[in-house]
């Protein structure tokens, strides 16, 4: 977000509008002392006793807001207000982050009562040259005859301007070997490895469910009975309490009410034994993603054209606390994690240009408000039947959904340590078969209400909390997180719980921050050697087959490693890898080895080797053979042998 704000263009003249029908565009005027004049407030209005006047006066309310962006770069704010008492009103825009002490005021003129009106305010008198974020308070004020302004209502909204280098637009000029952004997202889509936890107090077994399709949840289950339907509700400010279906129109109407409005998912937790899985299973699974091109500093080297594949995993519920509750589910233990609907997690895979197209450099896994990053050599990749793929394996902490590179309880959790025993990998695997193709998300500035992805514009929370007196402040659109939880660290980085970067619109800064946190893995493959030795290798043609002798292999581990075997494959005429041989990691390939003569293409044969890692054993109630044929791999090596 550096360089987001350029020099202030000019002071704009306030447009005074006295008839609602004549106010097409209201231009904001810059002020410098708004924060001192309005309630003499020094922080969020909710922390000021004078905020109670909002409800006592009850003269008007801001019902929603929405930012719009024009191709010319101009930015407007649409605000919906409902006035109960006629008078002369104005809207003040109080920017908090990153625009310290920046306020603008726009007169609404003489506003009538009893109607909902929408005002279009702008264009803002600033240039935003890149991806930008701001937290903005909207203050509805009534001008008194004394000259003072009475605060009527306040809501918090967010200004987001996304980068242009997203998805296919980000790949222009790069050699992708013909792969689109959708294809790249699918090739590197993560495989989720869950855990199984048994509550020692109740004996109830918990196996995490995969991420869900948000649009499908908002639309309701395919077989509706009037009971299991998401609703928009209000829980904190008791000015109005709504229970409305989360349609696009309603989400837009309630937008900007940061703490007031949330989407309440169909209730899964009437008690600890409630069959919530039956409800969750009504909705299809999904994993979301998008691609961004950005300069990235990695291990001291600047990669000017790094491509970051971002994946968003919206889990239905965070149930970590109930893993340690009694049979009634009443022992809410903050130390065991929150207990709420909705759980947004994300990971990133980094690609850089290479001689043969884009190649993986590393990956970053979010763990609560922080996360860790590892080079591609240290990322476990999915290897069904031992055949290596580019799908990174994510070990998901049961209940909290923090993402881990390994099942090792000693890996950094970036939380309070409660995740340590919760990601041992004894649960189910979720991959393309269960999740389907990655649902590619557009730039936020390209999303319109009524689109499939318009829920990403909603600034409120997804899901309610099940701890009395607590608020689910954790789950919002990935474009908003992590600012919306602790906005005071968004630019300054002063809050220890987070990086200070928006990991979605500024992934490079977030990844660079994550790379500074040691993962504490039990291995480091960066120091290892993994390659074929063809110095003594030769091929002999025999009837119907090829005989390979003298092929060597160099595998020097850089330290402790879970690798036990190395497998060798050949690529057939269809491009499919076929198993050729396997041997112990500290041994040598068997000699001779045989492969079909028709495997030769253009007088050469391609061999591929990978290290084989056995995944953790399945936990009961899963059968012991449920992981049959599923392996993981860190490293691959390729060599092409010429057939005489």
**Tens-digit pLDDT profile for residues 545-577:** 999 999 999 998 877 888 989 999 999 888 899
Distance between CA atoms of residues 270 and 163, nearest Å: 42
Residue 75 pLDDT: 84
Distances (CA, A) of 369 to 252, 271, 306, 463: 28, 29, 23, 18
Give per-residue pLDDT as tens, 145-163. 777 778 888 777 877 788 8
Residue 5 pLDDT: 31
Residue 530 pLDDT: 92
Distance between CA atoms of residues 340 and 39, nearest Å: 34
Domains located in the chain, CATH noted: 20-161 (2.60.40.10), 167-514 (no CATH), 525-642 (2.60.40)
Residue 295 pLDDT: 97
Residue 38 pLDDT: 32
**Burial class of residue 399, CB neighbours in 10 A (0-12, 13-18, 19+):** buried
Asked if 444 and 160 count as a contact pair (C-beta separation under 8 A), the reply is yes
Residue 322 pLDDT: 64
- Look up residue 177 and give its two tokens: 């070997």
- Look up residue 31 and give its two tokens: 């002020």
Backbone angles phi, psi at 214, to 5 degrees: -65, -45
- Residues of the chain with pLDDT below 70 are 1-24, 29-58, 96-101, 126-129, 222-227, 235-242, 257-260, 267-276, 321-339, 465-474, 480-501
With tokens 């009475």, the residue in question is: 150
Distance between CA atoms of residues 106 and 272, nearest Å: 51
* Percent over 70 (pLDDT), the chain: 77
Distance between CA atoms of residues 108 and 87, nearest Å: 10
Residue 294 pLDDT: 96
Residue 336 pLDDT: 43
Asked if 240 and 54 count as a contact pair (C-beta separation under 8 A), the reply is no
Asked if 160 and 133 count as a contact pair (C-beta separation under 8 A), the reply is yes
Question: pTM higher than 0.95, yes or no?
Answer: no
Query: 410-422 burial, b for 16+ CB within 10 Å, e for fewer?
Result: ebbbbbeebbbeb
With tokens 């890692």, the residue in question is: 613
Asked if 376 and 393 count as a contact pair (C-beta separation under 8 A), the reply is no
Decide: helix, strand or coil at residue 179. Answer: coil
Distance between CA atoms of residues 41 and 51, nearest Å: 10
Count of CB atoms within 10 A of residue 424's CB? 22
């Amino acid at each position: 977000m550096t360089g987001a704000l350029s020099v202030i263009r000019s002071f704009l003249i306030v447009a005074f509008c006295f008839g609602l029908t004549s106010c097409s565009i209201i231009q904001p005027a810059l002020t410098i002392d708004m924060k001192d004049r309005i309630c003499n407030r020094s922080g969020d209005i909710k922390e000021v006793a004078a905020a109670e006047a909002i409800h006592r006066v009850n003269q008007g309310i801001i019902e929603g807001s929405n930012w719009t962006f024009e191709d010319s770069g101009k930015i407007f704010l649409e605000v919906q207000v409902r006035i109960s008492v006629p008078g002369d009103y104005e809207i003040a825009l109080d920017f908090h982050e990153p625009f310290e002490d920046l306020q603008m005021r726009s007169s609404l003129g003489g506003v009538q009562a009893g109607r909902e009106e929408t005002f279009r305010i702008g264009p803002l008198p600033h240039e935003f040259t890149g991806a930008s974020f701001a937290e903005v308070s909207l203050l509805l004020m009534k001008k008194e005859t004394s000259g003072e302004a009475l605060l009527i209502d306040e809501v918090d909204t967010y200004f987001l301007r996304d980068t242009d280098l997203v998805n296919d637009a980000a790949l222009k000029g790069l050699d992708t070997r013909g792969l689109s952004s959708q294809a790249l997202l699918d090739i590197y889509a993560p495989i989720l490895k869950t855990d199984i936890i048994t509550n020692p107090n109740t004996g109830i077994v918990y196996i995490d469910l995969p991420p869900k399709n948000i649009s499908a949840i908002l639309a309701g289950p395919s077989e509706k009975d009037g009971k299991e339907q998401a609703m928009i509700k209000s829980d904190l400010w008791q000015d109005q309490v709504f229970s409305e279906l989360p349609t696009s129109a309603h989400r837009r109407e309630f937008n900007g009410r940061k703490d007031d409005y949330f989407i309440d998912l169909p209730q899964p937790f009437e008690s600890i034994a409630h069959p919530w899985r039956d409800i969750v299973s009504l909705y299809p699974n999904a994993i979301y993603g998008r691609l961004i091109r950005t300069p990235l500093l990695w291990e001291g080297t600047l990669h000017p054209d790094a491509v970051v594949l971002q994946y968003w995993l919206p889990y239905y519920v965070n149930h970590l606390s109930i893993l340690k509750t009694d049979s009634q589910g009443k022992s809410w233990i903050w130390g065991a994690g929150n207990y709420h609907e909705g759980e947004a997690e994300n990971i990133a895979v980094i690609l850089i240009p290479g001689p043969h197209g884009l190649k993986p450099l590393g990956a970053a896994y979010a763990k609560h408000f922080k996360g860790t990053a590892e080079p591609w050599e240290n990322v476990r990749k999915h290897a069904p039947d031992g055949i290596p793929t580019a799908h990174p394996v994510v070990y998901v902490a049961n209940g909290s959904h923090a993402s881990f590179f390994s099942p090792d309880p000693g890996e950094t959790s970036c939380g309070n340590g409660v995740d340590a025993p919760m990601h041992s990998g004894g649960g189910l695997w979720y991959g393309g078969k269960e999740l389907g193709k990655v649902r590619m998300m557009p730039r936020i500035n390209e999303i319109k209400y009524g689109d499939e992805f318009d829920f990403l514009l909603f600034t409120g929370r997804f899901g309610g909390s099940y701890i009395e007196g607590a608020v689910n402040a954790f789950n919002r659109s990935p474009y908003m997180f992590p600012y919306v939880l602790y906005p005071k660290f968004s630019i300054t980085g002063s809050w220890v719980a987070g990086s200070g970067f928006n990991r979605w619109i500024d992934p490079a800064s977030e990844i660079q921050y994550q790379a500074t946190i040691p993962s504490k893995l039990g291995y480091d493959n960066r120091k290892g050697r993994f390659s074929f030795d063809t110095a003594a290798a030769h091929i002999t043609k025999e009837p119907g087959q090829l005989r390979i002798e003298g092929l060597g292999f160099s595998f020097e581990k850089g330290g402790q490693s879970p690798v036990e075997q190395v497998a060798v494959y050949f690529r057939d005429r269809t491009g499919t890898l076929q198993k050729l041989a396997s041997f112990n990691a500290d041994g040598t390939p068997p000699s001779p080895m045989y492969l079909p003569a028709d495997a030769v293409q253009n007088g050469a044969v391609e061999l591929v080797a990978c290290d084989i890692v056995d995944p953790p054993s399945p936990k009961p109630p899963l059968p012991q053979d449920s992981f049959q044929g599923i392996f993981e791999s860190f490293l691959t090596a390729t060599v092409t042998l010429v057939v005489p």
